[in-house]
Amino acid sequence: MKIKTIDIPSVGKRYDITTESNSKFVLIDYFSGLKEIYILKDNQTIGSIKLNNDEANQLAILLSRMFLKDFLEKRIDVIFQSLAIETVKIEEDFKSMNKTIEEIKFRTFTRTYIIAIIRNERPLVMPQPSEKILENDILVLLGNIEDIEKAKIYLKNLKT
């Protein structure tokens, strides 16, 4: 997409925009807050719209959301390829048992998140650092596969 910016003295700015498919439109941003959009075909105006500042802001938010969603969806695919969610059951020989998440410095030593604790068949989502890890708790871990495997060992031995 090509954008040509033209200052209009005492009025505002004009943006001449040509897309990759050769569609053309003009945006005029007036100092008064008014915005105008002109759609061109063969260098002739075939449609136009006027927006006040609030309307233009709403349109900008809508467009941003649409494009940000597409942008993030593409990036999230890459992120999710390296993420894993695993569970680990706390057994009686685990040294992390009866200690808080903060006390064992879980995040610091494992680079893994405890995103939930399933205790007595009830989920505790996003547990606080002050939450104690109890026998028979099932911890739901989020991280990359290597870090999660290390985290499982850490929960048992409290050694990295």
pLDDT one-digit tens code per residue, 128-149: 999 999 999 999 999 998 999 9
pLDDT at 76 over 90: no
Of 15, 40, 67, which residue is a domain's last? Answer: 67
In a domain, 138, yes or no: yes
Answer yes or no: do 90 and 152 share one domain.
yes
Query: Per-residue pLDDT for 155 more than 70?
Result: yes
What's the confidence (pLDDT) of residue 68?
A: 76
What's the rounded mean pLDDT across residues 108-136? 95
88 shares its domain with 62: no
Residues 11 and 53 in one domain: yes
The residue-averaged pLDDT of 69-84 equals: 77
Structural domain count, the chain: 2
Residue-range definition of the domain harbouring residue 130: 84-157
- Do 152 and 122 reside in the same domain of the chain? yes
pLDDT at 160: 65
Contact predicate 156/111, CB 8 Å: no
Instruction: Mark whether 95 and 63 lie in a shared domain.
Output: no
In a shared domain, residues 58 and 28: yes
According to the model, what pLDDT value does residue 72 have? Answer: 73
The pLDDT of residue 52 is above 90: yes
Average pLDDT over residues 59-65: 86
Answer yes or no: is pLDDT of 71 > 80: no
Whole-prediction pTM: 0.54
Give the DSSP H/E element, type plus range, for residue 142: strand 138-143
Task: Quote the mean pLDDT of the chain.
Answer: 92
Single-letter residue type at 114: I
- Counting other chains too, the contacts that 125-133 makes at CB distance below 8 Å and 24 or more residues apart are 127/101, 128/101, 129/100, 129/101, 129/102, 130/100, 130/101, 130/102, 131/100, 131/101, 132/98, 132/99, 132/100, 133/90, 133/94, 133/96, 133/97, 133/98, 133/99, 133/100, 133/101, 133/104
Same domain, 88 and 149: yes
Q: What CATH number does the domain containing 147 carry? A: 3.30.70.1450
The pLDDT of residue 70 is above 80? no
Mean pLDDT for 110-116 is 95
Same-domain status, 17 and 63 = yes
User: Is 74 a domain residue?
Assistant: no
At residue 23, what are phi and psi to the nearest 5 degrees? Answer: -70, 145
- Within a domain: residue 73? no
Indicate if the pLDDT at residue 12 is higher than 90: yes
| Residue partners of 135: CB distance under 8 A and separation at least 6 | 90, 91, 92, 94, 97, 98
